[in-house]
Amino acid sequence: MVLSAQPSPSLHRTPMFDPESIKADFPILDRKINGQPLVYLDNAATTQKPRAVMDASRYYYEALNSNIHRGTHTLARAATATFENARRTVADHLHAAAAEEIIFTSGTTDGINLVANILALAGTLQPADEILISALEHHSNIVPWQMLCQRSGATLKIIPCLDDGTLDPAAFATLLGERTKVLALTWISNAFGTVNPVAAMTHAAKQAGALVVIDAAQAAPHLAIDVQALGADFLAFSGHKVYAPTGIGVLWGRAAILNALPPWRGGGEMIREVTFAHTTYNDLPFKFEAGTPNIEGAIALAAALDYVNAIGLEAIHQLETRLTRAAAHALATIPGIHFFGPPARAGILSFAIEGLHHYDLGTLLDQMGVAVRTGHHCCQPLMARFGITGTTRASFALYNSQADVDALAQATHKVVAMLR
């Protein structure tokens, strides 16, 4: 089987927006850190929020604040309508077949745990079965499956990665088989920026009869997502990775599969009728949304997606790809530097410098106003695969510019000179 990452859009076009002017939409980017202008390059951890998103949050609390779905008064009806409009915005963004396939969660971690737990409750896996994940996974796409294996007796299998940080296609073809019941795969590695060939791998897994769960936490801010074309069964992402607040996320699932699986959490909203003898569960999506949801978060997430789509994900991807390549070029002259992941990275540049600890490098970069992430990036097995404890990671977003790349390069060269 030959697997190749999905082709990137042409990089020869000029982006349809100016990231320097867009910075004005993000108030926090006016801050100074240690007397230096903030250069924010920690977007893979969380993105900053534009005024449009903060305005949406403020509008909910100032004009709509009420619980939703069951109230008959004006505020309750208005809040409900705005919340459900947000669900439709997310469904359109993902090209879902219906808004009912959109389950609001607290984030990608919550969405993956939801899937793992409802599969456990349904008894989907047996001791002879296997769950297949990759060596590139975030802990959030490892631990829930380990827990499911412990509960079901199934076995967890790992697709290894090659030295360039891409997955081994021959190993995947060997590991995938009739015992594979679940393929859980990250679309883009949060540690290395590797773009996995999720469409081809999903097709192969469906041919083998497996359910496919996609962690799209890093894909959501960089790529257009069409869940129907992708062919997976579940896909999860977090709002705060795509310019929305923390505490809100999405699990998309095929309606037929969600309808067939039992709910995980019990409480209000996920029920149709309750007696002490018996409970009848609600229809989708409410069956999986027990309790009062993050109403403001969902509304703000819709505003964030509207903001991103107004700019265009293809233009954003072009910009971030160009900046990532420029940063690699600017840092490549540092003696002893090693970049992780393939050259075709998606918005992430992860590196180590011989003789320097990543924590020291990140701390000194912060003193110069440059915010990067250091450590294992919640990917300890991946770090162990490469014999390291962590990396320094610069990650880009739609408001980053060549000036930010220049600041990163100048500060890193300066730190290296200080520490050597």
If asked whether residues 41 and 79 sit together in one domain, one would say no
In a domain, 126, yes or no: yes
Q: Residues 298, 341: one domain?
A: no
Average pLDDT, the chain: 94
228 with 140, same domain: the answer is: yes
* Total structural domains within the chain: 2
What range does the domain containing 333 cover? 19-47+312-419
Among 261, 285, 309, where does a domain finish? 309
Contact, 132 vs 183, CB < 8 A? yes
The verdict on 252 and 362 lying in the same domain is no
Least confident of 111-115, 213-217, 271-275, 308-312: 271-275
Q: Is residue 257 a part of any domain in this protein? A: yes
Indicate whether 25 and 58 sit together in one domain. no
Do 283 and 264 share a structural domain? yes
Boundary of a domain, candidates 309, 338, 361: 309
Q: Look up the CATH number of the domain holding residue 379.
A: 3.90.1150.10
- The mean pLDDT value for 224-236 works out to 98
CA distance 143 to 138: 9
Write down the residue that tokens 């081809």 correspond to.
200
Looking at the structure, do residues 277 and 391 belong to the same domain, yes or no? Answer: no
* pLDDT reading at 6 higher than 80: no
Interval 275-325: pLDDT, tens? 899 988 889 999 999 999 999 999 999 999 999 999 999 999 999 999 999
Looking at the domain assignment, is residue 383 inside a domain?
Answer: yes
Same domain, 296 and 318: no
Beta bridge partners of 388: none
* 367 inside domain: yes
3 assigned to some structural domain: no
Exposure letters 232-266 (e unless 16+ CB within 10 A, then b):
bbbbbbbbbbbbbbebbbbbbbbeeebeebebbee
- Mapped onto helix, strand or coil, the DSSP state of residue 355 is coil
Cα atoms in the Cβ-side hemisphere of radius 13 Å centred on 286: 18
- Identify the CATH number of the domain in which residue 124 sits: 3.40.640.10
Pairwise CA distance, residues 263 & 137, whole Å: 26
Separation of alpha carbons 339 and 359, rounded Å: 17
Q: Give the model's pLDDT for residue 275.
A: 85
**Each residue's pLDDT tens digit, 40-89:** 999 999 999 999 999 999 999 999 999 999 889 999 999 999 999 999 99
Say what the pLDDT of residue 268 is: 86
Most distant pair of Cα atoms in the chain: their distance: 72
d(CA 133, CA 145): 9
Q: Please say if 149 is a catalytic residue.
A: no
| 16 pLDDT above the threshold of 90 | no
Q: Read off the pTM.
A: 0.94
**Residue from 149, 161, 378, 379 carrying the catalytic annotation:** 378
Could you tell me the pLDDT band of residue 13, with boundaries at 50, 70 and 90?
very low
**377: buried, middle or exposed (CB in 10 Å: 19+, 13-18, 0-12)?**
buried
pLDDT digits (tens, 9 = 90+) for 340-382: 999 999 999 999 999 999 999 999 999 999 999 999 999 999 9
| Pairing status of strand 32-33 against strand 36-37 | antiparallel
Encoding tokens for residue 268?
């209000």
State the DSSP H helix or E strand holding residue 76, giving kind and residue range, or none if neither: helix 74-94
Q: Are residues 84 and 101 in the same domain?
A: yes
| Distance separating alpha carbons of residues 336 and 353, to the nearest angstrom | 5
Same domain assignment for residues 305 and 316:
no
**184: in domain:** yes
- The predicted pLDDT at position 342 comes to 96
* Co-location of 36 and 112 in the same domain: no
Whether residues 286 and 249 fall in one domain: yes
pLDDT tens digits, one per residue of 234-245: 999 999 999 999
Nearest CA to 235 out of 262, 198, 267, 263 is that of 198
| Domain-ending residue, one of 259, 276, 309 | 309
Examine residue 280 and state whether it is found in any structural domain, yes or no: yes
Is 178 among the domain residues?
Answer: yes
Residue 203 CA from chain centroid, whole number: 21
Tell me which long-range contacts 92-97 makes (C-beta under 8 A, separation of at least 24).
Answer: 93/225, 93/305, 93/309, 94/225, 94/226, 94/227, 94/235, 94/250, 94/252, 95/225, 95/226, 95/227, 95/228, 95/229, 96/227, 96/228, 96/252, 97/228, 97/254, 97/255
